[in-house]
């Protein structure tokens, strides 16, 4: 059986996960909803900027580390740069027992275009 490439894995994950429009994610942030924003980008990307108060667990470490950082009972919005890695992380988190987890459509770039603030 042929191994799926990144784009195919993302497409498969997106079929299983829920996406939240970036405008809705920004509105939740502004209302101070009880949501954990999870950044799954690489360390060098995280160092540039992030959603204020976000938790950082790179995609490669999700299966090993996310339960140590975020309880399964929390509502989680996952983001990356544009959305692909977030879909993979969200799918993995569903497999780990998270039930209220979704990815931000368009990633942090969607967040920026929706008027969301960033911290450095």
Per-residue pLDDT of the chain (120 residues; tens, 9 = 90+): 678 888 888 889 899 899 999 999 999 999 999 999 999 999 999 999 999 999 999 999 999 999 999 999 999 999 999 989 999 999 999 999 999 999 999 999 999 999 999 999
Residue 107: inside a domain, yes or no? yes
Q: Which residues of 87-112 are buried (b: 16+ CB within 10 A; e: fewer)?
A: bbbbbbbbeeebeebbbbbbbbebbb
Q: Distance between CA 88 and CA 39 in Å, rounded? A: 12
Residue 118: inside a domain, yes or no? no
Q: Distance between CA 49 and CA 57 in Å, rounded? A: 14
Q: Provide the residue range defining the domain that includes 67.
A: 6-113
This prediction has a pTM of 0.94
Number of domains in the chain: 1
Residue 1: inside a domain, yes or no? no
């Amino acid at each position: 059986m042929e191994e799926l490439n990144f784009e195919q894995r993302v497409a498969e994950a997106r079929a299983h996960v829920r996406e939240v429009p970036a405008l809705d994610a920004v509105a939740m942030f502004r209302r101070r909803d009880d949501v954990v924003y999870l950044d799954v980008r690489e360390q060098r990307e995280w160092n540039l900027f992030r959603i204020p108060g976000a938790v950082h667990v790179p995609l490669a470490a999700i299966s090993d580390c996310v339960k140590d950082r975020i309880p399964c009972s929390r509502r989680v919005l996952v983001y990356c740069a544009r959305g692909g890695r977030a879909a993979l992380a969200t799918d993995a988190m569903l497999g780990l027992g998270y039930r209220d987890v979704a990815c931000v459509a368009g990633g942090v770039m969607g967040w920026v275009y929706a008027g969301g603030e960033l911290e450095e």
